[in-house]
Chain A
């Protein structure tokens, strides 16, 4: 089937304004008759719940944490992009759109990206009004930083904790609505099913994580703002609780899953110290401005202290392989090269999964104080975790999965193919194409939540009667029965291996065979291996305790069970996409210099998969991508 993104036609500059005018409105007095469910309280969910509540809708918001202030948006360090052009350095809405389309390797929808760039400026104004303390210059004006993938300075920031400040801004707006009674907040709830009645999304089934009770919630529309899925790799920079569960349950109820193979691996993370560790900590890649990356040339040197390895025995591999770009080679190339060096047995540190990031030359050239001024907080964080002083000895770094560009398929209104099901933020696939630029994730979350969904959801609600389905409907009962049965099954297997062991097994396959460099062979094998792990899981997993209480092993078991299904889809998508683009790198498809080789003739489309049953092949639907404003070109960083 050919999917229609329902993008507005006509000049792109007018597309969002025209679309907003064309959307139907819900009368203010009628808004309170509509119930909206918002799942997840990160930037997208927090902003959406607050704004929809303020507009007068009845909102029910859900999060698995103990408070809506804790979602993983909070961990974003660098900043948020906007096309304000405050520095007068040539920025514009069109340029932000251009950079985002190109950065995404021409695999995103133009109209969606235009809208994102257009509302980016409103986001900054909104956050300032909330009291978000952005960095300022000595005249009191908002300050900007430069970031990757752009030649202008458009990144607004708050120290190294921009995500925290933006999320707390959204949380404060949400708290105000909770107090006013327009939003009812449900903490410590995990969505375990989407309830679909006659093909339309009408509610969710949640597990109360304190009592274990299965709860039904009905609404006229459901918004999933549940983040990304890269914990499927076991190793990742995501929070421990991040999962694909909400969007995967929706996919199993018929929502199409778009471009799952577009995952981003961040090159500068602190390496894994042992198998017990799944959470990796990211450090801003700005470090590569002044650090030189190397590994020993000889395998016998990998156990030596770095200062015992003379200059001539070091391989500064990025400088050698990419002389024009050196240590600032693009994220995907840097990540892949580190993996190759370690695969060749030249990795350093425990487990041999690490490369050196060496500041000795910069310190000699600029002084230690200058380096401390630029990166002091990062060196401090590195020392807290590794006990190594990065000024005295090279840091060890390794790539780690940290962002999912893929997600549930949505049209221009952020509605999935299931009417009434909307998907916002990292959970959808819409604007980043095959690769996301730095400082763009925060922009998308807040754009979707504050400035897109409040308009587009009205267009849908105006066409339906409110309150038609209540939780006494048979579909809600069936959903609770199904979810309870799955929970009981997990508790009754009483096998020999823990949930974490299975997650680690899956992660090894995902990381080694479906990770930074993918081949037909590695993917075909992964598609064979994953169902075997899944089968063993359902026969041999050990989950202790009961379902009628707080049970973290049970929560984790459900999430891993979903990853064991979803991981296979990710591998299938990667196998079908016979090209390299952005974060998706197929070793068969590369240019002589190792750059990704796109195949626009055959693959310039969104690949959206329809679930057909476990152990059955999913069906692929395509949405062709048209480039009318930005012309298709080979992405070059040289």
Chain B
């Protein structure tokens, strides 16, 4: 169907049957790939070939394929989501690669994200951090009119910058310490900036950072790899804000 010339690529892909399997790299060839294939569509094509050859297809997490659900999660040539600025794997396109390239594909690698199979990892630790306090404890109904709470536009904008996190875990995968500081800092900052979230700010930062440690995430040593890995461009300043909130909470 396409009128563009095609590429042939060598894929070196992490294959692991289940959590207990040691896992290993396997080599495949991706054929008839055009520059218009997204990275995941390229993998779809490889999987169709594998099925037709009677081999087990590669499993990987994905869903919305428009860069917002946060499900897709792959390390490509050593970079989370493939390293293109502000781009998830599902939005990465094959025009970023050349005919004949060799591409290494691995799952997120972090202590807090055990591998389930091939490129799929268990990210429930991120949910646990949110469950520890990533909310305002409001009830359904009985809330005041939306315009009762005025919020200066710059504050609302900064809270939105933090709220753009899609919870993919690239920050953890990119961090040499496997830390979830950017993820946690973004949620803590969003709610600490807004008047609705200030009421519970002290308890929130304590509970969320405690849970972060319990889940096996590491600490921040200012590499800024998280920001470089983040497909939504979440800024490391939110880690600094989390640290300030943490200090403030010691005196609350």
Contact = CB atoms under 8 A, between A and B. Distances in A.
B117 interface: yes
A164 B141 contact: no
A93 to B, nearest CB: 15
Given A51-B140, A351-B1, A175 B127 contact: yes
B241 interface: no
Interface stretch (A251-259, A316-324, A516-524, A541-549): A541-549
A70 B71 CA distance: 7
A362 to B, nearest CB: 25
A176 interface: yes
B239 interface: no
Nearest to B211: A179
Contact of A133 (B93, B122, B147, B156): B156
A15 interface: no
Interface string B59-91: 101111110111100000000000000010001
B225 interface: no
Contacts of B102: none
Contacts of B66: 75, 279, 281
Interface residues of A, number: 80
A307 to B, nearest CB: 18
A592 B32 CA distance: 47
Nearest to A237: B66
Contact of A500 (B37, B44, B55, B164): B44
A124 B146 CA distance: 6
Contact of B141 (A126, A171, A239): A126
A273 B132 CA distance: 44
Interface stretch (A27-35, A136-144, A218-226, A559-567): A136-144
A241 B152 CA distance: 39
A115 interface: no
Given A240-B63, A274-B1, A552-B57, A133 B159 contact: yes
A158 interface: yes
A57 interface: no
Contacts of B152: 136, 140
A137 B155 CA distance: 11
Nearest to B138: A129
A500 B48 contact: yes
Contacts of B68: 74-75, 161, 164
Contacts of A294: none
B144 interface: yes
A128 B149 contact: yes
A276 B43 CA distance: 10
A84 interface: yes
B52 A498 contact: yes
Given A66-B71, A550-B116, A239 B64 contact: yes
B147 A384 contact: no
A50 interface: yes
A131 B127 contact: no
Contact of A549 (B36, B117, B156, B163): B117
B191 interface: yes
Interface string B26-47: 0000000011111001001100
Given A142-B147, A279-B66, A500-B48, A179 B131 contact: yes
Nearest to A71: B69
A173 B140 contact: yes
A219 to B, nearest CB: 20
B146 A142 contact: yes
A134 B156 contact: yes
A67 B64 contact: no
B125 to A, nearest CB: 11
Contacts of B250: none
B150 interface: yes
A133 B190 contact: yes
Nearest to A275: B1
Contacts of B61: 66
A187 B128 CA distance: 13
Contact of B136 (A130, A133, A138): A130
Contacts of B64: 70, 72, 74-75, 239-240
B51 interface: yes
A54 B163 contact: no
A241 B64 CA distance: 8
A239 B17 CA distance: 26
B153 interface: yes
Contacts of A124: 146
Contact of A70 (B52, B70, B134, B146): B70
B116 A210 contact: yes
A483 interface: no
Interface string B117-145: 10010111011001110111111110111
A173 B126 CA distance: 15
Contact of A552 (B38, B59, B135, B150): B59
Given A133-B156, A384-B87, A175 B134 contact: yes
A107 interface: no
A418 interface: no
A125 B143 contact: yes
A168 interface: yes
A54 B142 CA distance: 13
Contacts of B87: 384
A173 B138 CA distance: 8
Contacts of A500: 44, 48
Nearest to B194: A131
Nearest to B4: A350
A129 B152 CA distance: 16
A451 interface: yes
A549 B21 CA distance: 13
A122 interface: yes
B34 A131 contact: no
B93 A553 contact: no
Contacts of B124: 66-67, 187
Contacts of A551: 59
B69 A65 contact: yes
A111 to B, nearest CB: 21
Contact of B3 (A138, A179, A350): A350
A279 B139 contact: no
A47 B18 CA distance: 34
Contact of B131 (A128, A134, A178): A178
B108 to A, nearest CB: 12
B1 A65 contact: no
Interface of B: 1-4, 17-18, 34-38, 41, 44-45, 48, 51-52, 54-57, 59, 61-66, 68-71, 87, 91, 93, 95, 116-117, 120, 122-124, 126-127, 130-132, 134-141, 143-147, 149-153, 156, 159-160, 163-164, 166-167, 190-191, 194, 196-197
23 contacts: A67-B126, A67-B167, A70-B64, A75-B69, A86-B147, A125-B145, A129-B144, A130-B135, A131-B135, A134-B156, A135-B156, A136-B153, A138-B153, A240-B62, A240-B63, A274-B34, A274-B36, A384-B87, A384-B91, A386-B36, A550-B59, A550-B117, A553-B57
Task: Name the 4 nearest CB pairs between A and B, nearest first.
Answer: A140-B150, A172-B135, A273-B36, A129-B143
Interface of A: 47, 50-51, 54, 65-72, 74-75, 84, 86, 122, 124-131, 133-142, 158-159, 161, 164-165, 168, 171-173, 175-176, 178-179, 185, 187, 210, 239-241, 273-277, 279, 281, 350-351, 384-387, 450-451, 454, 498, 500, 542, 544-545, 549-553
Given A66-B123, A384-B87, 18 more contacts: A67-B126, A75-B64, A75-B69, A126-B141, A130-B196, A131-B197, A133-B159, A133-B190, A136-B151, A138-B153, A141-B147, A164-B166, A171-B130, A274-B1, A276-B41, A350-B1, A350-B4, A552-B59
